[in-house]
Amino acid sequence: MTKTYFQPHDFEILALSRVTELADDLRMLGLLDSKELGQLETALDRAEQAQAIGAAATRRTEAERADIAEKVSTGELDIADIRAEAAKIPEDLQVIRIAESVYSSAVREAQRIAYAHTDQAPKLLNEHLDTIVAEAAELAGKLEGVLTADQAIARGVTDEWTAVADLAGTYSTLRGVVSRLREAGRLAKPGNGEGGPWWNFRTPPQLERGGYRVVTAGPDADGGRAKFLKEMASGPYVPASSGEALAVMRVHDEAQLEFQTGGRA
């Protein structure tokens, strides 16, 4: 039976949604210049227009069919005249098929533009992370022994105390970009049974010098600053491949073994 309504494939809808969601991320990373961003917006607009045209044609088709059925049921139209009345519908069906074709083409074009340079994403993301790590290390030195806002005030390091929270926000934003790129299939991501902290950190953030770090300040006291600075000291990174992540996993395993055995393995 011929489909009489506008309905893109689910994978096309998902692909378009991901491109739309990633546009600002890609621009922020420098993976889309102003010209490419304009081209992407044009492709996204074309998809939106095709969807609107297809939806309008669908509504007209449904209205025409309902009108014919109503006229037959009320006796305004003889059942023998249905064919003549239905002949008005194929024009809108053609509009629907063309709109679907335009939509599909626009989705492919949007993906081509958006993902043209994403092979550079791991390098650029790691550069951003390295900057955050360096800033965090400097702040950690200035905030050593400072576990509460009151202590920061007393020590005269309120600017540094605030800067850690801002830096943690930047890091969280960057991790959001990583997550979205992985979901879109533009970054390596864990397969079944491969997940673990080695996908985010080069060394285990919960281990230090053969033992677990003890964070004396709870989240209510320091707003998660101690945990954040600990993680930044653990080499946050974005693996370029699953092979790289699994190699880092071995580093984590060795550190865990050393912790468990006290270095006597």
Q: What would the pLDDT profile of 22-67 be if each residue is shown by its tens digit?
A: 999 999 999 999 999 999 999 999 999 999 999 999 998 888 888 8
109/42 same-domain check: yes
Tokens for 151, please give them.
């202590």
Q: How far apart are CA 245 and CA 250, in angstroms?
A: 9
- Decide if 84 is inside a domain: yes
Q: For residue 257, what are the domain limits?
A: 118-261
39/78 same-domain check: yes
pTM: 0.81
- Decide if 35 is inside a domain: yes
- Which of 114, 148, 171 is the last residue in one of the domains? 114
129/72 same-domain check: no
Longest dimension (CA), the chain: 94
Q: How far apart are CA 248 and CA 190, in angstroms?
A: 13
145/106 same-domain check: no
Q: Cβ(11)–Cβ(1) under 8 Å?
A: no
At 170 the pLDDT is 97
- Decide if 88 is inside a domain: yes
107/135 same-domain check: no
Length of the chain: 265
- Decide if 5 is inside a domain: no
71/148 same-domain check: no
Q: Tens of pLDDT along 129-169?
A: 999 999 999 999 999 999 899 999 999 999 999 999 999 99
90/126 same-domain check: no
CB atoms within 10 A of CB 217: 16
220/241 same-domain check: yes
Q: Cβ(203)–Cβ(263) under 8 Å?
A: no
